[in-house]
Chains A and B, each alone.
Chain A
Amino acid sequence: MNTHRFAALAAFAFTLLSSAAYAETQLTVYTAFEAVDLQRYADTFNADHPDIKINWVRDSTGVMTAKLLAEKDNPQADVVWGVAASSLLMLKGEGMLEAYAPAGVEKLDPKFVDSSTPPSWVGMDAYVAAICYNTVEAKKLGLTPPKSWKDLTKPEYKDHIVMPNPASSGTGFLDVSAWLQMFGEKDAWSFMDGLHTNISSYTHSGSKPCKMAGAGETVIGVSFEFPGAKAKSAGAPIDIIFPEEGSGWEAEAGAIMAGTSKLEAAKVLMDWSISKKANEMYNVGYAVLAMPGVAKPVENLPTDVASKMIKNDFEWAATNRNAILKEWSKRYDSKSEPKS
């Protein structure tokens, strides 16, 4: 055997081995993406990067955040992809995120990118607060549809409104923090005092009020646009109302966990997650995308959802979250008398 051939063989073997090793890169990805979307997202990603396998660990935003924080000293995830930006801000405050500017981050709308340079997280898409309004039940009761948040305090809606509890639901908190930012502290609390008298119950999850409205269990569900569009497609007689003052919103975002042993693969995934192709992929369910100019209309949603979004200060919300929830619980939890 001549040395030349041996070298070629060795090189070949080396390529085989290294590509095999590379093909085995498995990323543990924590997510709160909708369960139905996971397989589609992974398949679309693997079409471009067959060498990186995504192992999803999925749960609702609240549970996922609790899990991530509980694992603070020994993180199990390599990447977080599809978890609320405000949750990622909490992780950032614990020093759990690896700052990284994905390729093409400058093409994103700046409100979808962490304010530090390099950013610790980048956004994919947004869900926007909205009111789900059951037209059939409203007609039976002779109600008129609300146009604004402030309309919800009208006496005619008494006991016909359901909203998520901000202490247990991210959606509930984004509503409350948006009202505080839009109306100012004093007006916001007096608005919520009025709203509270009309609320029939506070739910634990953010999409439930909309589904309850869809099923006629309540007339008005304070929720967000995504479950509204879904319920409408399933045959629910609801209108999705975006109040005229503007809506709070939350970004689904991604980040690399500090200390991951698979930093290169994680960066590849982050780069891809903000690409045009990825944004088109998110567009199937979400009307507002991080990359401007990509979004196509989503069934049952208006085309101008993005214009309803207020200027949301995630950092302010994160810093004041505890104080807001304390005040909220003091005002409304203790008044939660049995309604029998």
Chain B
Amino acid sequence: MAAVTDTLMPSGRLPRQHLDRDDMVKRGLMIVISLYLIISLAAPLYVMLSKSFSTYSFDLTAYEFQVSDAAGNFGQTATAATLNDRLSLLSPDKLATNADGRLAATSFFPEFSFRSPVKYRIRGTTPDTAYLIGSDLHRGTEWQELDSNTFRRVALRSSRSTGLDNYISYFSTPSLFRSVQNSLFIAVISTVFTVGIAFGFAYAISRSCMRFKGAFRMIAMAPILVPSLLPGIALIYLFGNQGMIRDVLFGTSIYGPLGIVIGSVFFTFPHALIIISTALAISDQRHYEAAASLRASKWRTFWTVTIPGARFGLISAAFVVFTLVITDFGLPKVIGGQYNVLAVDIYKQVIGQQNFEMGAVVSVILLIPALAAFVVDRLVQKKQVALLSARSVPYAPKPNRKFDFYCLMWCTLVAIFIVGILLVCQLAALVKFWPYDLTLSLKNFAFNHMDGGGWGSYKNSIQLAALTAVFGTIIVFTGAYMVEKTEGFWKGRAVFHFLAMLPMAVPGLVLGLAYIFFFNNPANPLHPIYGTMAILVVCTITHFYTVGHLTALTALKQIDGEFESVAASLKQPFYKLFAKVTVPVCLPAILDISIYLFVNAMTTVSAVVFIYSADTALASVAVLNMDDAGDIAPAAAMGMMIFYTNVLARLVHAFLSRAVLARTQAWRTRG
């Protein structure tokens, strides 16, 4: 056949899709948003990766010494390296250090005495060689002559090179390596508990006829509205050494893995619940009818119908929880006690020891489990087959007094846990001086007298949340629209998809640290945004990009592609269609994206903690800093301010959504 056509037809140009102006604009916009994601995500990560290979060590060949005899006649010149080899003083691992490394010059002269009349000379072999005399920095190849008492104060400085040394030293430090084990341990335990509890909760809501479902749903979502370290504060008030009900633990300390796990269950619960609820919601009544007609026991039906139907949801929830726990650092910092975890290690290395290189190493290590979880989750998602076919009958639970009672009990327990934690925080915020002065006062809300930026930080947070919601929604939705409604251009769209999914796999802490390396470099033309609100907005949008992107895609997929064809045949430009059809139809999803970004911008700590400046202190970071300084009650107070702000934002969102649904979504229901 092919041969025939070849002979009959002259070989012409391959047919190409004609690109009109709309397509060009769409592709252009897609490339612009891709560029945004590359600058705000891929490039900083790359810089961080290269930073983790930048090492510091003492270059002994760069220093030369001369020693005089008692009369002041100088002998032969020797480099530090020669002296070190001759006397075998320092092993190579002693020469590895960090950017602030200092090595006493006297370590090359075992016979050194500061009282001796012997004089010393030191110089570098290169102009950049640096050493300290006392605390004064000297550079260069000029000889410096010093008496013994001054020579005692000479220290060599480290120089920069590239290599794997940071990784080697990380894995050979037992305390650091233990953090890896600890992180994995608490992440696995928390995942098991959260997924189990959330499954029970979701099961009760979708499969029972118990009462108060609406209230339970609302309460279950509350933990999303507070920073992750707030449950830690509540746990200290409950089970700390002065805790209200500390005897419940029989002397076990809440500081450590126990506190981290309980707190993690609290803050990851809603995330797991959303995913599992969705998985349980799409079940087919016919499967259960079939099981019943085969006389399968309830137990057997549960394991052969319910669990397999929800398994992808369970796996997905497990990975989300695992990633959240292993990358969270607020909670272990507040209640971790002596239990070291990876996320806190990064903070300790960077803020405590100014060891940015080691911070980068821990970040890269923290990326591995998060990336692995992400990849496995994607693979599993691909296997998900449509459970819901056109013939499906939605599952309708039948009343069963005993079962409904158990469900109600389960949900009540979970609700008590969640509401209890929040109430304890509220109480903590109002008590004057726990546990010695229990009168109520608003003293703890006087944030201006505390670390962390005062009420200004609260205003900044609201500004950040509002800006993130507005610009984030525009960027995310536009990006999703361009990638979904563009014809052809497969490669570009695949790249865009990858970029849009990537933020999900990058822990906030890693992103924040990468931003320091990338933006705080004077050579970077974007350097001026460092320390401003702009960088916080960019960082937060990028950090929470993926969920918004997926929400937008889901909404856009519901709009038939025919709209585009019709608009094209009517010679209407795509932006008219976008403004007049797409946006109004997708308004509920757009509102969802904006409230998601708003709430998360209010509560996020991990990414912004490295890049906020004095002018842009944030409420969520203030909670962390006030707790760090030991002002736990004001920290709880600020946490509750965030909570109330988010509740208010949610209410506004609910009101707007309803109004929007009434005005623009009337077509969904037949009149």
B136 within 8 A of A: yes
| Contact B353 A167, beta carbon cutoff 8 Å | yes
| Contact A217 B242, beta carbon cutoff 8 Å | yes
A218 within 8 A of B: yes
| Contact B433 A236, beta carbon cutoff 8 Å | yes
| Contact B134 A116, beta carbon cutoff 8 Å | yes
Residue numbers in A under 8 Å from B625 (CB-CB) = 60
Question: Which residue of B has the minimal Cβ distance to A205?
Answer: B628
| Contact B340 A333, beta carbon cutoff 8 Å | yes
B213 within 8 A of A: no
Q: In whole angstroms, how far apart are the Cα atoms of A217 and B257 in the complex?
A: 18
A residues 282-340 in Cβ contact with B at 8 Å? 314-315, 318-322, 325, 329-330, 333-334, 336-340
A66 within 8 A of B: yes
What is the minimal beta-carbon distance from B172 to any residue of chain A, in angstroms? Answer: 11
B104 within 8 A of A: yes
Instruction: How many A-B residue pairs have C-beta atoms within 8 angstroms? Tell me.
Output: 175
| Contact B253 A340, beta carbon cutoff 8 Å | yes
User: Which of A36, A202, A234, A318 is B102 in contact with, Cβ under 8 Å?
Assistant: A318
Question: Which residue of B has the minimal Cβ distance to A211?
Answer: B630
A residues 70-97 in Cβ contact with B at 8 Å? 70-71, 73-74, 76, 89-90, 92-95
What is the minimal beta-carbon distance from B212 to any residue of chain A, in angstroms? Answer: 35
Known contacts A70-B356, A116-B135; is-contact A322 B241 (Cβ 8 Å): no
Known contacts A204-B352, A319-B155; is-contact A217 B256 (Cβ 8 Å): no
What is the minimal beta-carbon distance from A139 to any residue of chain B, in angstroms? Answer: 13
A180 within 8 A of B: no
B258 within 8 A of A: yes
Q: In whole angstroms, how far apart are the Cα atoms of A58 and B614 in the complex?
A: 6
User: Which of A35, A74, A212, A329 is B630 in contact with, Cβ under 8 Å?
Assistant: A212
| Contact A204 B628, beta carbon cutoff 8 Å | yes
What is the minimal beta-carbon distance from B627 to any residue of chain A, in angstroms? Answer: 8
User: Which of A56, A211, A236 is B631 in contact with, Cβ under 8 Å?
Assistant: A211
Question: Which residue of B has the minimal Cβ distance to A237?
Answer: B436
Most A Cβ at <10 Å: residue of B104, B155, B351, B625? B351
User: Which of B136, B347, B451 is A92 in contact with, Cβ under 8 Å?
Assistant: B136
Q: Which of B75-83, B93-101, B476-484, B494-502 contacts A (4 or more CB under 8 A)?
A: B93-101
User: Which of A73, A74, A168, A217 is B236 in contact with, Cβ under 8 Å?
Assistant: A217
What is the minimal beta-carbon distance from B181 to any residue of chain A, in angstroms? Answer: 11
User: Which of B99, B135, B437, B451 is A114 in contact with, Cβ under 8 Å?
Assistant: B135
What is the minimal beta-carbon distance from B392 to any residue of chain A, in angstroms? Answer: 47
What is the minimal beta-carbon distance from A127 to any residue of chain B, in angstroms? Answer: 14
B192 within 8 A of A: no
| Contact A205 B175, beta carbon cutoff 8 Å | no
B558 within 8 A of A: no
Most B Cβ at <10 Å: residue of A209, A216, A322? A322
Residue numbers in A under 8 Å from B97 (CB-CB) = 322
B461-500 vs A, CB cutoff 8 Å, 1 = contact: the mask equals 0000000000000000000000000000000000000000
| Contact B132 A69, beta carbon cutoff 8 Å | no
| Contact A339 B338, beta carbon cutoff 8 Å | yes
A142 within 8 A of B: no
A271 within 8 A of B: no
Residue numbers in B under 8 Å from A95 (CB-CB) = 137
Question: Which residue of A has the minimal Cβ distance to B155?
Answer: A319
| Contact A71 B520, beta carbon cutoff 8 Å | yes
A146 within 8 A of B: no
A residues 92-122 in Cβ contact with B at 8 Å? 92-95, 114-116, 120
| Contact B628 A215, beta carbon cutoff 8 Å | no
Instruction: Count B-side interface residues using an 8 Å CB cutoff.
Output: 70
B333 within 8 A of A: yes
Instruction: Count A-side interface residues using an 8 Å CB cutoff.
Output: 71
A169 within 8 A of B: yes
Known contacts A216-B436, A334-B175; is-contact A92 B450 (Cβ 8 Å): no
A247 within 8 A of B: no
B338-354 vs A, CB cutoff 8 Å, 1 = contact: the mask equals 11100000011011111
Residue numbers in A under 8 Å from B241 (CB-CB) = 216-218
| Contact A73 B104, beta carbon cutoff 8 Å | no
B291 within 8 A of A: no
Residue numbers in B under 8 Å from A73 (CB-CB) = 522
A residues 195-212 in Cβ contact with B at 8 Å? 200-205, 207-212
Residue numbers in B under 8 Å from A236 (CB-CB) = 433, 436
A residues 10-67 in Cβ contact with B at 8 Å? 35-36, 56-60, 62-63, 65-66
B516 within 8 A of A: yes
What is the minimal beta-carbon distance from A325 to any residue of chain B, in angstroms? Answer: 7
A246 within 8 A of B: no
Q: In whole angstroms, how far apart are the Cα atoms of A92 and B631 in the complex?
A: 33
| Contact B628 A334, beta carbon cutoff 8 Å | no
Residue numbers in B under 8 Å from A62 (CB-CB) = 351-352, 354
Q: In whole angstroms, how far apart are the Cα atoms of A59 and B435 in the complex?
A: 29
Q: In whole angstroms, how far apart are the Cα atoms of A321 and B337 in the complex?
A: 24
Q: In whole angstroms, how far apart are the Cα atoms of A291 and B452 in the complex?
A: 31
B255 within 8 A of A: yes
Residue numbers in A under 8 Å from B175 (CB-CB) = 329-330, 333-334, 336
User: Which of B135, B353, B613, B614 is A318 in contact with, Cβ under 8 Å?
Assistant: B135
B172-200 vs A, CB cutoff 8 Å, 1 = contact: the mask equals 01110010001000000000000000000
What is the minimal beta-carbon distance from A147 to any residue of chain B, in angstroms? Answer: 24
Known contacts A319-B104, A322-B98, A340-B258; is-contact A165 B629 (Cβ 8 Å): no
| Contact B135 A336, beta carbon cutoff 8 Å | no
Residue numbers in A under 8 Å from B98 (CB-CB) = 322
Question: Which residue of A has the minimal Cβ distance to B352?
Answer: A168
A136 within 8 A of B: yes
B residues 228-254 in Cβ contact with A at 8 Å? 236, 240-242, 252-253
Residue numbers in A under 8 Å from B432 (CB-CB) = 235
Q: In whole angstroms, how far apart are the Cα atoms of A215 and B348 in the complex?
A: 25
| Contact B102 A201, beta carbon cutoff 8 Å | no
Question: Which residue of A has the minimal Cβ distance to B133?
Answer: A116
Residue numbers in B under 8 Å from A318 (CB-CB) = 102, 135
User: Which of B99, B436, B630 is A210 in contact with, Cβ under 8 Å?
Assistant: B630
B residues 407-441 in Cβ contact with A at 8 Å? 432-437
A123 within 8 A of B: no
| Contact B137 A215, beta carbon cutoff 8 Å | no
Residue numbers in B under 8 Å from A71 (CB-CB) = 520
B123 within 8 A of A: no
B157 within 8 A of A: yes
What is the minimal beta-carbon distance from B524 to any residue of chain A, in angstroms? Answer: 10
Residue numbers in A under 8 Å from B104 (CB-CB) = 319
What is the minimal beta-carbon distance from A292 to any residue of chain B, in angstroms? Answer: 24
B601-627 vs A, CB cutoff 8 Å, 1 = contact: the mask equals 000000000000111000000000100
Q: In whole angstroms, how far apart are the Cα atoms of A116 and B174 in the complex?
A: 40
B153 within 8 A of A: yes
Known contacts A116-B134, A340-B252; is-contact A35 B451 (Cβ 8 Å): yes
User: Which of A66, A203, A315 is B153 in contact with, Cβ under 8 Å?
Assistant: A315
Residue numbers in B under 8 Å from A235 (CB-CB) = 432-433, 436-437
What is the minimal beta-carbon distance from B265 to any residue of chain A, in angstroms? Answer: 16
Residue numbers in B under 8 Å from A217 (CB-CB) = 236, 240-242
| Contact B516 A216, beta carbon cutoff 8 Å | no
| Contact A57 B614, beta carbon cutoff 8 Å | yes
Residue numbers in B under 8 Å from A36 (CB-CB) = 448-449
Known contacts A70-B516, A322-B102; is-contact A168 B351 (Cβ 8 Å): yes
A248 within 8 A of B: no
| Contact A93 B629, beta carbon cutoff 8 Å | no
Q: In whole angstroms, how far apart are the Cα atoms of A205 and B450 in the complex?
A: 14
| Contact B433 A325, beta carbon cutoff 8 Å | no
What is the minimal beta-carbon distance from A176 to any residue of chain B, in angstroms? Answer: 13
A-B contacts, 12 listed (Cβ < 8 Å): A35-B451, A36-B449, A57-B615, A69-B100, A116-B134, A168-B353, A205-B629, A207-B630, A216-B436, A314-B135, A315-B153, A339-B253
Q: Knowing that A204-B352, A218-B241, A322-B97 touch, tell me 6 more A-B residue pairs with CB under 8 angstroms.
A: A35-B452, A205-B628, A235-B436, A321-B102, A334-B174, A338-B256
Lowest 5 CB-CB distances: which A-B pairs, in order?
A211-B630, A168-B352, A333-B175, A208-B630, A74-B522
